[in-house]
Each structure stands twice: as structure tokens, then as C-alpha cells.
């Protein structure tokens, strides 16, 4: 399973607007992804409710994971989005 550990770059964490940006970005990758706090239970990263229930705050570490084909490229892009607090998914390399 591929995974990336990243620190949340949005000051407000994964709430409201950043959560919406993230959920849309996950959907755009076309790859099933989970997100969790280290040692926590993974939730579907494409689910707004799951993401909000995670309660991830700015500056906290989260783990993005997937075992699907194409996961490494998708996780790299999502990790950059989360770590840098971007407003949209970075272009594929």
C-alpha cells in the first residue's frame, strides 16, 4: 500500500473550504484514497462527512493511503495540495 504522511498546511485544517477543495481533488484523481490521523482509523478521503469527522487541524499530520493502480502519482499530488494549503490540485508531473 502506498502512503504519504503530510502536515496540513491550511491554518483552519481540513474544515469547510479546504475540506471541499480536498474532496474535489480526491475525486479528480480517480483513485480511491483514505485519510487518517497517525494510528487512527482511515476514512474515505472523498467523503466530505468522513473528512469533517476526522477533525484534522492545521499543523497536524495525516496519512494518505491507497493500494490502487496509479496511487503513487495521485498521492504525490494530494500530499502537495495538503502540505502547501493550495486551492486546487497541482498538475500531474
Active site residues: 15
Q: Which three cell numbers stand for residue 47?
A: 467523503
Paired strand residues for 65: 3, 34
Decide: 26 and 33 in contact? Cβ < 8 Å.
yes
| Closest CA relative to residue 34, chosen from 10, 68, 11 | 68
Paired strand residues for 6: 62
Distance CA 74, CA 78 (A): 6
Q: Which three cell numbers stand for residue 29?
A: 484523481
Amino acid at each position: 500500500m502506498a502512503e504519504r504522511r503530510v502536515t496540513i498546511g491550511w491554518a483552519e485544517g481540513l474544515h469547510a473550504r479546504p475540506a471541499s477543495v480536498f474532496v474535489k481533488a480526491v475525486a479528480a484523481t480517480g483513485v480511491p484514497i483514505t485519510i487518517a490521523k497517525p494510528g487512527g482509523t482511515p476514512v474515505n478521503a472523498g467523503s466530505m462527512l468522513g473528512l469533517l469527522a476526522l477533525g484534522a487541524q492545521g499543523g497536524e499530520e495525516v496519512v494518505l493511503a491507497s493500494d490502487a493502480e496509479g496511487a503513487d502519482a495521485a498521492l504525490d499530488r494530494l500530499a502537495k495540495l495538503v502540505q502547501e494549503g493550495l486551492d486546487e490540485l497541482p498538475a500531474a508531473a
